[in-house]
Structure 1
Amino acid sequence: MGARNLMSHAITVDDLPPSTAEFVRGEGRARGLADVLADVTHGLRTDEETMNRESRGGPTSDRYVVEMLLTPELLIVAHRQSDDAETDPGARVRFHPLDQLEVTLPTAGPRLAMPARSIPVTSTPLGGARRATYQLPIAIDADVDRFREALLQAAQAARA
């Protein structure tokens, strides 16, 4: 069994590595969108590191980066395994239209012995074939609370 370390903090478009920003813009263009980063109002980055114990060769570590960027019309979620989308062939980005996005809030009760470590969103991303729930990883932080509140307000405004 391994350990999991999450760190989240607010970001702006200027905080994205240049190759990641271009990757996100390119994926947006491929879906017929104008510059998807032009209208970002809020951003959140989560760095996740998992330590795995190996029987031979010692422990290993995996690092994942998730950036969530909010515009008045979209939630943009970029995933990659390194700081540079150019060096991660598995990097991906999803564009979730806010007018059909559902955000699940944690509920009080005995099941929540520990604080929530994700923001569950249900959506059919642009170019996606079906509606699904995505668990966006987060740490417990004031920046996360501000982002979640902005996301809820933006989704509500888009549906109105």
Structure 2
Amino acid sequence: MSHAIAVGDLPASTAEFVRGQGRARGLADPLAAVTHGLRTEEETMNRESRGGPTSQRFVVEMLLTPELLIVAHRQSDDADTDPGARVRFHRLDQVEIATDKGSEKAVTARLAMPAKSIPLTSRPLGGAKRATYQLPIAIDPDVQRFRDALAQAVEAARA
């Protein structure tokens, strides 16, 4: 499930976590210039041999500024309760959004059924090397608006 969000929709602990990680990377308040946001929530069920099924909840927030793509991952609604919570900051002028270079048939199929992820390559601030990420998303109008805004922002950052 994905939907558009604003900075005010972030849990307070998540917002402070993002700000703190931004400060650690030499950024002023990275949330001050957010223009678009998208939250994806996914719950997965796992079968266990004993005790029955268990579920895990994953939350990914993608926040876009004129200069950065901020991606926050956590397994709960609260960054304080998730020791594995992490945030990555990607400079838009370094982001490459993957596109399908396949046949016309493959492109037509992709347009009819959009991908469930946004593949992008970047070196996050503080990272040692470039990596490709599959940012999870769902198929709905909020997602398409975010994709369009991301593509336009990447293009503008390179201009």
| Structure 2 unmatched runs, 5+ | none
Task: Tell me by how many angstroms 1:57 deviates.
Answer: 1.2
**What RMSD, in angstroms, separates the aligned Cα atoms of the two structures?**
1.7
Q: What amino acid does structure 2 have at the position aligned with 1:141? A: D
| Structure 1 unmatched runs, 5+ | 1-6
Once residues 140 and 114 of structure 1 are traced to their aligned partners in structure 2, the CA distance between those partners, rounded to angstroms, is 9
TM-score scaled by length of structure 2: 0.92
2:92 matched residue in structure 1: 98
Indicate if the aligned counterparts of 1:19 and 1:85 stay in contact, CA closer than 8 A: yes
Q: What amino acid does structure 1 have at the position aligned with 2:30? A: V
1:74 pairs with 2:68: yes
Alignment of 1:52-131 (within 5 A): 52-105=46-99, 109=106, 115-131=114-130
Identity of aligned residues (%): 79
Q: What amino acid does structure 2 have at the position aligned with 1:146? A: R
Indicate if the aligned counterparts of 1:11 and 1:44 stay in contact, CA closer than 8 A: yes
Task: Tell me by how many angstroms 1:116 deviates.
Answer: 1.3
1:39 pairs with 2:33: yes
Once residues 29 and 114 of structure 2 are traced to their aligned partners in structure 1, the CA distance between those partners, rounded to angstroms, is 36
Deviations 1:105-134 (A, max 9, x none): 456629859641110110000000000001
Alignment of 1:125-144 (within 5 A): 125-144=124-143
Q: Post-superposition, which runs of at least 4 consecutive aligned residues in structure 1 deviate over 3 A?
A: 105-108, 110-115
Once residues 39 and 11 of structure 2 are traced to their aligned partners in structure 1, the CA distance between those partners, rounded to angstroms, is 12
Q: Is the helix fraction higher in 1 or 2?
A: 2
Once residues 117 and 54 of structure 2 are traced to their aligned partners in structure 1, the CA distance between those partners, rounded to angstroms, is 24
TM-score scaled by length of structure 1: 0.91
Report the count of equivalent residues: 154
Q: Which moved more, 1:66-75 or 1:46-55?
A: 46-55
